[in-house]
Amino acid sequence: MRNAWHPTDTKYGIQNTRHERPLMPTVVEPPLFFLDYDGTLAPIVDDPAAAVPHPEAPDLLRDLDAQFPLWIVTGRDLQALSSFLDRPYSAIGLHGAQEGVVGRDIHNRMSDEAAAALRRLRASVPSVDGLRVEDKARSFAVHYREARDESGARDQLKDWLADLPEVLDAIWGKKVVELRPDGLTKGTAVRRIAAQHPDHVPVYLGDDVTDEDAFAALQEMDRDAVSIKVGPGDTRADARLDGPDAVMAYLRRYV
């Protein structure tokens, strides 16, 4: 059995790295885009079902996708993401457990053992006032943003995940904990895709703790890359943007 880890764990190299001082991202040619959705292309909202993209995002994504290789990299289920994005973008879903095209064919990389462990945990989510479960195909997340006692709700979730099966990881994000298969991350996905585009410079933008996997993977590769943290918080990224408005301004520099 394994213990659930948290955003401050040194496993992700987040501690004692870059803090709040924003660093201006560079523009590179030719880019290979990896773009997170929530908090990057869309503002963070209380209800994930209401996370519509930034008003500039649809047209800008179409322009970028027509010129450069572009991947959406998200913790969402890719079929569900099609309700927000109106084009068949290449995408990674469920933090690396899915790969495919938004709204079309999707390949699940999750093992049967991990899927069975997730089903067992889904059936045992603690009954706490204000907790909300977000089902994501074969995975799920538990939000405690609406709990009256957020600290108490978090403590109960930590107890629930105290002995996590070896085949799973628990990722603590912004008032949410997500369950995913061990060994499948945004980092493993980005490394695999970047290897298919050796003549392009990877450009990764993301706001979440799970994006630190991708930042680390790109920095460990023997090639130029740009990693951009969106929003506040410690990070190992090379640069920072304040939020989706700044993301749109940066991406406009490529069209």
pLDDT digits (tens, 9 = 90+) for 108-145: 888 899 999 999 999 999 999 999 998 887 889 999 99
Residues 176 and 228 in one domain: no
Share of the chain above pLDDT 70, in %: 91
**CATH number, position 166:** 3.90.1070.10
pLDDT of 101 above 80: yes
Q: For residues 92 and 207, state if they share a domain.
A: yes
Task: Tell me the pLDDT tens digit for each residue of 1-20.
Answer: 343 333 333 333 333 344 45
Whether 21 is in a domain gets the answer no
187 to each of 27, 47, 127, 162, how far by Cα in Å? Answer: 22, 26, 33, 25
pLDDT value, residue 23: 64
Q: Is 209 found in the same domain as 161? A: no
Phi-psi region of 125 (alpha: psi -120 to 50; beta: other; left: phi over 0): beta
- Same domain, yes or no, for 193 and 144? no
| Angle, helices 244-252/57-67, rounded to nearest 10 degrees | 40
Same domain, 89 and 41: yes
Q: Are residues 201 and 243 in the same domain?
A: yes
193 and 240 together in one domain: yes
The percent of residues above 90 in pLDDT, for the chain, comes to 72
Positive or negative CA dihedral for 243, 199, 58, 102? negative
Domain count, the chain: 2
- Residues 98, 116, single domain; the answer is no
32 in a structural domain: yes
pLDDT digits (tens, 9 = 90+) for 13-46: 333 344 455 467 999 999 999 999 999 999 998 8
Does residue 77 form part of some domain? yes
Question: Which pLDDT score is estimated for 13?
Answer: 37
| Residues forming the active site | 36
Whether residue 42 is found in the same domain as residue 134: no
Contact 222, 236 (CB under 8 A): no
Q: Give the integer Cα–Cα distance in Å for 102 and 80.
A: 9
Asked if residue 164 and residue 103 are part of one domain, the reply reads no
- Per-residue pLDDT at 171: 87
Regarding whether 57 and 74 lie in a shared domain, the answer is: yes
pLDDT at 105 > cutoff 50 = yes
Strands 132-136 and 226-230, sheet pairing: unpaired
pTM, whole model, 2 decimals? 0.82
The domain containing residue 46 runs over which residues?
A: 28-109+184-252
Which pLDDT value is given to residue 136?
A: 84
Q: Which of 181, 197, 226 is the last residue of a domain?
A: 181
pLDDT band at 98 (very low <50, low <70, confident <90, very high): very high
- Residue 47: pLDDT band (50, 70, 90) is confident
Whether residue 254 has pLDDT greater than 80: yes
What pLDDT digit, counting tens, does each position of 54-97 carry? 999 999 999 999 999 999 999 898 988 999 998 999 999 998 99
Q: Please identify, among 181, 212, 228, the residue that sits at the C-terminal boundary of a domain.
A: 181
Whether residue 30 is preceded by a cis peptide bond, meaning omega within 30 degrees of 0, is yes
What pLDDT score does 137 carry?
Answer: 77
pLDDT value at residue 38 = 95
In this structure, are strands 70-73 and 31-35 parallel, antiparallel, or unpaired?
Answer: parallel
